[in-house]
Amino acid sequence: MSFLNRFFQDAFDQSQLPPIGKNSFDAITESDLASHLEIDTYDSFQLTAAVRPAIDLKIKPTQGYRHDVYIDEESQSKVPVIMAAASKENLFSLFMQLIQRLGPVVDVVLETSHNHDGGHKDLYREHIDMPVLTSTLWDYENLLTNDGCTGIAVLNPNTPQEVQFDEHKLLIMYGSPLEQFEHILEINNVNDKSDIRFITEAEHVHSSTDEFIRQFQALRTDLGLDGSHLEEDNESYDGGCV
């Protein structure tokens, strides 16, 4: 099943991944693979349909958050980061609570890797009223929660702060202060775990459907995103979706 190799390239630490041609899916049958992809709950943590961990389960999905630091390559400035994973039943509601803290008017970045051509595409929308944004996003809860090729970020460039709901369905908060985001996580039983590891840090598989592609285009239209706001980022390629 070497066709799966192309899906095992996205991790924060590439050294943790096996060499191409030596992943944990190679030795299993098609039926075993199908059975593994049907598993969506580990202990009390429920995955969305967007992503599945490796067959060897080196990292078991779990709920929690940790602090990190993002270093800008150009300026070398350091930005505080919180990374969080939440079980499916609370995930989208939690995202919506987090973005409310960004202010009444925000910018939006809609990310897609549906095209399979070796990169992500980011679509930008500036200055959208929060009530308009939240109303639109609730209409697309299924897409944003379950499509492994769709991600979204909401940001306030004046703060500056950002909340990202990425393709792996992780929640990533950038900026300072972060205490307001920590409070929301904690009251939703997403607790601080300094040793937590995320699904991105080992082999994993994304998934999407033709219906999700159609819904993505509809969301793009509803958010007022046209081609003039599109930017390609080939360096962020993580292997696409199945």
First to last CA, the chain: 13
- Count CB-CB contacts under 10 A for residue 8: 21
Residue 9 identity (one-letter amino acid)? Q
Question: Which pLDDT score, from 0 to 100, does residue 12 have?
Answer: 31
Cis before 160? omega within 30: yes
Distance CA 103, CA 129 (A): 9
The H or E element that residue 2 is part of is none
pTM attached to this predicted model: 0.83
Task: Report whether 181 contacts 190 (CB < 8 A).
Answer: no
Tokens for 78?
A: 């350091």
Helices (H), ranges, 140-173: 141-146
Distance CA 174, CA 163 (A): 7
DSSP code at position 203: -
Average pLDDT over residues 4-14: 31
DSSP code at position 18: P
In tens, the pLDDT along 133-175 reads: 999 999 999 999 999 999 999 999 999 999 999 999 999 999 9
Question: Which pLDDT score, from 0 to 100, does residue 117 have?
Answer: 59
Q: Angle CA(71)–CA(76)–CA(82) in degrees, nearest 5?
A: 20
- Please name every residue paired with 83 in a beta bridge, in sequence order, or none if there are none: 66, 172
- Count CB-CB contacts under 10 A for residue 51: 23
In tens, the pLDDT along 182-238 reads: 999 999 999 999 999 999 888 888 889 999 999 999 999 999 986 544 444 433 324
The H or E element that residue 183 is part of is helix 179-187
Distance CA 174, CA 162 (A): 5
